[in-house]
A = this chain, B = another copy of it.
Amino acid sequence: MPHSDECRWLTDTLTRQIPLGAAMGLAIARLDEAGIELTAPLAPNVNDKGTAFGGAMMSLMTLAGWSLPRLALRRAGLAAELVIGRCEVRFLAPVTQDFRAVCDWPAEDAVAEFLDGVRARGKGRLALAPEIVLAGPDGDAVAARLEARYAGLAMNPGDLPS
């Protein structure tokens, strides 16, 4: 079951190596062939209006998106750092409950191109669009959307300062 091993590794990364993830109460609710779903309770992420703080939603979406190319690099055995570049955020509805950020895997050729870029040129790019999704009586609704560009940067030990 590769996903349960990946879940453990990714949980450690998202909550221990990134302590703000732990402060937010972040957890991985789903990691499968379709994508990833991160959850966060409202209480530690609330704002002065009793709704989810925009920065917390941006953080959860950023990490949901980041997780997929991070896993792709790990699966490919590539030593690379993964950073977020330019992004756009839209807040569509206030969030008054625990929330989740969902990100689907992009098309296979986009992931392959990302990995090829890291391998061949030391840099690969991948655009992702994680969303804050709320379960409601009439089905899921999107409360916020992030369009983000991630960059994988190959770590070449010869280029690193000693």
Contact = CB atoms under 8 A, between A and B. Distances in A.
A158 to B, nearest CB: 19
A60 B44 CA distance: 16
Interface string A51-88: 00111101110110000000000000000010111111
A19 B46 contact: yes
A58 B53 contact: no
**Copies of this protein in the complex:** 2
A45 B86 CA distance: 19
Contact of A86 (B19, B20, B81, B91): B91
Interface string A28-47: 00000000000000011111
Interface string A84-99: 1111111100100000
A18 interface: yes
Nearest to A12: B48
B91 A53 contact: no
A110 interface: no
Nearest to A50: B17
A23 B84 CA distance: 22
Interface of A: 13, 17-20, 23-24, 43-49, 53-56, 58-60, 62-63, 81, 83-91, 94
23 contacts: A17-B46, A18-B48, A19-B44, A19-B46, A20-B23, A20-B45, A20-B56, A23-B23, A53-B59, A54-B62, A54-B83, A55-B59, A55-B60, A55-B62, A56-B59, A58-B59, A58-B62, A83-B94, A84-B91, A85-B91, A86-B89, A86-B91, A87-B89
